[in-house]
Structure 1
Amino acid sequence: MKILVVDDDPMVLEVLKHSLAHSGYDDVTVAQSAVEASQIIAKANPAFECFLLDMSMPEIEGDDLCYWVRQLPQYASTPILMVTALANKRDIDRAFAAGASDYITKPIDMSDFGMRIQQIDRKNSQNAFKAPASISLLDKQDQEPDRIDFSKPVHLGEITGEVDLASLENYLLQLSRKGIEGLSAFAFTIADAAKFHFVCTTEEYLDILKSTGQIISDHLAASGFFLSYAGSGSFVGVGQNANLHHDEWEKTERSIQEALAKVAVPSSLGLPSKIQVFSGVPLRLNGKYAERSLDILYRTIVEAEDRCGDTSWAQV
């Protein structure tokens, strides 16, 4: 695995490089600034397969470098692990908003660090022969691209607050490790999503997902939120200060429904005339137990799917 490590502290670079070599990763390049890193990235051939970035660096900080890397098409889904002394929620939010895949704080627990690098390596190996999650809609012959797996997560792009599902899980785990409280999980599921997937072209289905995700983002009564498309027509998110009162959340759902009613849907035979989403009431996340928080996160999807009652197409 080809890795780029960026940190302004030479000692940290040496420690990380030594730790990576000890775990069997010898193809490691180091840089002491974002400017130096950008020059190395621009010339890299083959491309890097993993980035380790410090957050706090002079001139250009790590989250800005992370954002720049994410805009490069070849690095749209490359793992980016932030390795930093910054441990408060504001900095964690900055990193994930910039496109970070995971976050680890200094002083580094080397056993945990090694485990996460190995996880990244395994995921890279699993994805080596798969199409990237960010889909190029049409090829040069304007042929229909491979259909999206209905049940699988997809990073849609262009949605405010969106991160991919694996990054959302890592974000939640990081906050849980820090014991950060006051977070809620929520989910929205598109009614008849499987029908849209079955009848629509890939481009039409992606347009429906993107429109739905952006409208949900625009109407969320939560601050500091992140949103992911989890597959099967469901969006799941985490935010602070989400209004947990049932009546208020119903108002949020209705306002989303009203906005979605104005979105044009394909006129294919058998499709619903409008997009509808349903949600369960947001659930408080446990700030101390990471596994319980993940259970709660996915329970919100089940509740939203139950409200849809879209069972007749579940096996399409």
Structure 2
Amino acid sequence: MAVSRFMEWNGNHSSVTRFVLRGLSDEKELQLILFPIFLGIYLVTLLWNLGLILLIRMDSHLHTPMYLFLSFLSFIDICYSSSISPRMLSDFLKDEKAISFIACATQYFVAAWMGLAECCLLAAMALDRYVAIGSPLQYSAIMAPGLCGKMVAGAYVIGFLSSLSQTVSCFNLYYCGPNIIQHFFCDLPQIIPLSCSNPFISQIILLLAAIFIVFGSLLVILLSYGFIAAAILKISSGKGSAKAFNTCASHLASVTLFFGTVLSVYMHSSSSHSMKQNKVLSVFYVVLIPMLNPLIYSLRNKEIKEALKRVIKRATY
């Protein structure tokens, strides 16, 4: 039904012009319940991340490498969530969740760009924490604004080039048969199997991105924390050790949530049970983590709380 309606004849063959997203659930009643919940989460994500970016920009005490990285992480989270959430919200109110070929490619390109950039940025933040704890006296000299800017630009460029190569290779494949994506957003592992042409190059590009960017970033983070642990053990006072670890706690929580859910989704068997499980896990890294990140970094952070008090005081008086 949906397959035949979104096909066009091209000589002796028919090609897919649209995909159909299965969404989170087929139950209409559940979709109407989920709509206000996910709308609330998306609005909170926008407000918290924009608020954190503005606070970092407005308070000069927060013009340090750690908060520079944090403001760019918030920007990534806004873009990442916005590439998927609005479409998902509109689909909750539709009977037929159709998405055009171009819109699907655009959604994947932006989501993959931001997701891969976040991997690289979390690795850069781990290096920043290692320098802060391992070489506190040389920290300002090592983590100069120029280097921080290059690290942020590098994260965006790597994410952009990788996402572009994945999107171009996947959406240049020929699609002539089933057009139903078993997900609530356009995701390559669910789209590539629908192709009628040989997907070998697309699969190789996807695998290389996973190895070099995702696992590469994770390796940098693990090595950085290995050196951080060694540096903390050298600190003689218990209070100093606790303070040093406290500066890493938020980043460590963010890394565990992000990489934990991403790896659990993409390293799985393709059974129908695991597909339902993956949809639920995908909600965590697509919808919930962008909302939780600013909260994780702000909740126990005295500098952010003090900066907020200063901004409120200036606004009041």
| TM-score with structure 2 setting the length | 0.28
| TM-score with structure 1 setting the length | 0.28
**Which structure has the larger Rg?**
2
Larger fraction in helix? 2
Larger fraction in strand? 1
Q: Of the two structures, which has the highest relative contact order with CA contacts closer than 8 Å and spacing of 6 or more?
A: 2
